[in-house]
Amino acid sequence: MNQTSSHLKSRLLIVVALLAMLSSLTSCDDDPYFSPLVGTWEANYTDLGPIHPFDVDYFTFFADGTGTYEYYDDYGYLCQMYFVWRTRNDEWLYITYEDGYSTTCYFRFYRGYLEFSDDITFSAYTGYAPA
């Protein structure tokens, strides 16, 4: 019985080790639940300076990979579009809007702000503050 118990313990240790290895190989890059993007972000500035109040827009990222984009139209009405999103390598953001339009951009966090840019050098960008 003691030998069986020892054999069972070593098998259990192997299973636990394999599970630990498998869990370390999985990546959270494409899992929105773990993303620091989750929340509402309000446009605050660009690389050229502050944003005019009529040009402010908002992104809300939900943990399930959906979100909303809100902006003011030419008449001053707040409009809303739904989208799905995902990230890759904590630098790329993929968004597909409800009308089928898709966009990608780089993102980074800088001094508590979320910045979006079309290029990796962030020579032009828009900064969003937590709303």
Task: Give the pLDDT confidence of 69-109 residue by residue, as tens digits.
Answer: 999 999 999 999 999 999 998 899 999 999 999 999 999 99
Which residues, 6+ apart, have CB-to-CB distance to 61 below 8 Å? Answer: 32, 35, 37, 38, 39, 41, 67, 85
CA 67 to chain centre: 10
Count CB neighbours of 80 within 10 A: 11
71 or 13, greater pLDDT: 71
Query: Which candidate, 103, 98, 131, 101, places its Cα nearest to that of 116?
Result: 103
- How many whole angstroms separate alpha carbon 130 and alpha carbon 43? 9
Task: Give the pLDDT confidence of 28-51 residue by residue, as tens digits.
Answer: 445 556 789 999 999 999 999 999
- Measured over the CA atoms of residue 37, residue 41, residue 43 and residue 47, the dihedral's sign is negative
- How many whole angstroms separate alpha carbon 27 and alpha carbon 18? 16
